[in-house]
Amino acid sequence: MKKDFTILGIESTCDETSAALLVGGKKLLSNVVYSQIEEHKKYHGVVPELASRAHAAKIAAVIAQALDGKQIDCVAFAHGPGLPGGLMVGRVAAETLANFTNTPIIGINHLEGHLFACEFEDGEVKKPLSFPLVALIVSGGHTELWYVKGYGDYKVLGRTRDDAAGEAFDKVAKLLGLPYPGGPQVSAQALKGKRDAIDFPRPLLPGTWEFSFSGIKTSVSYYLKDHPNVNVPDVCASFEQAVCETLVKKTMLAADKYKVKHIAVGGGVAANTLLRELMNQAAQKRGITTHFVPRNMSSDNAAMIALAAWKKLEHAGEKASEKKWNININPNLKVKNWGK
Ligand code: KG4
Ligand code: ZN
């Protein structure tokens, strides 16, 4: 591939409309993110119909701003997993552009984007992942644990059975009357509370690599019913501790079992300070290095989609599709090995 090979990434799987330009698999020329938080705030969560409309309203302007008149060599868009309406908007935008500019098109798994986002620093790809590693992808819609042998060589160890970790943060915030998105709000309250004030469950589900966070959320709701004059910071601190301990423990169990020396943590919840601290402490004890996504790249963005496309082209010899339409979207897309 030529040195200045330029990929336009498009992301529209949930509540961020984003477009980015990545040059030579290294340098981000742009990463425009339009967040729909204001649209969804009063509902304490993402309303799919509103999300679709907001993507449709914003995507052209977001792409135009990211492109800024530049030439592109490839269009990459997140074709799943995500909300069907948003995925369709991304697909139509991507296919239109690919045809209009006569460039190839490639569909990217959004969760792979969250993994590769760990390689960014200050708008550049500066921190290559080291393999083999155990990856924890922890966002508002997903919580998954992967054993990753190399680029595109995955074994999915487990997923959440019910709520994703970010979803649990958002639901607990709603129970407490805190605004959406709940993660940063709960975290800010937690700083003023005692982490051992309430003993919420740590659902480890021994013998599996799965997660389950709906039980913690239900415990919080029972606790609130029984304690009308609740201390909000204590609830937040104890809840955050329970979720983060659970995530760290399972990740470390997987790291031990697969004897890896590296772990990677990506997705919106990877911005959480306690999670970063507990994970780093546990990793240090084992001599394991951590690859955390930088905070400014942890939530949904198109830069990570463009980078995942570059990795696929570079490492898997993936051919960007010559047919420029009918790149299927899949709301339940699962990560799979490249070349398979
Ligand atoms: O990756 P992301 O932007 O969207 C999905 O792909 O789902 O993640 C958004 C999620 C939300 O649930 C939000 O509450 C959570 O990430 N989040 C956090 C923090 N910042 C964002 N959760 C815990 N602590 C945070 N600091
Ligand atoms: Zn995401």
Q: Are residues 140 and 282 in the same domain?
A: yes
Provide the residue range defining the domain that includes 251.
133-293
Residue nearest to atom 1 of ligand 1 (CA): 268
For a pocket test of ligand 1, which of 110, 269, 301 has the largest count of ligand atoms closer than 8 A to its C-beta? 269
282 domain-assigned:
yes
Nearest ligand by distance to the CA of 109: 2
* pLDDT in the model for residue 325: 72
pLDDT tens-digit readout, 245-276: 999 999 999 999 999 999 999 999 999 999 99
Q: Are residues 137 and 286 in the same domain?
A: yes
Question: Which tens digit of pLDDT belongs to each residue from 199-210?
Answer: 999 999 999 999
The count of domains in the chain is 2
DSSP-assigned letters across all residues of 147-192: EEEETTEEEEEEEBSS--HHHHHHHHHHHTTPPSSHHHHHHHHHTT
Whether residue 329 lies inside any domain: the answer is no
Based on the fold, state whether residues 118 and 208 are members of the same structural domain.
no
- The answer to whether 123 touches 301, Cβ cutoff 8 Å, is no
Is the CB of 82 inside a 6 Å radius of any atom of ligand 1? no
Give yes or no: residues 280 and 167 share one domain. Answer: yes
CA distance 338 to 134: 18
Please report the atom of ligand 1 found closest to the CA of residue 271.
26
Report the CATH number at residue 34: 3.30.420.40
Q: Are residues 283 and 304 in the same domain?
A: no
CA quadruple 259, 164, 183, 301: dihedral sign = positive
Residue 181: CB within 6 Å of ligand 1?
yes
Q: Examine residue 335 and state whether it is found in any structural domain, yes or no.
A: no
Quick: pLDDT tens for 263-309. Answer: 999 999 999 999 999 999 999 999 999 999 999 999 999 999 999 99
pLDDT tops 70 at residue 321: no
Q: Specify the pLDDT at position 322.
A: 60
Over residues 67-93, the pLDDT tens digits come to: 999 999 999 999 999 999 999 999 999
Q: Please work out whether the CB of residue 107 comes within 6 Å of at least one atom of ligand 1.
A: no
Identity of the amino acid at 250: K
Q: Do both 149 and 62 map to the same domain?
A: no
| Contact present, 333 and 81 (Cβ < 8 Å) | yes
CB within 5 A of ion ligand 2: which residues? 139, 300
pTM surpassing 0.85? yes
d(CA 12, CA 87): 6
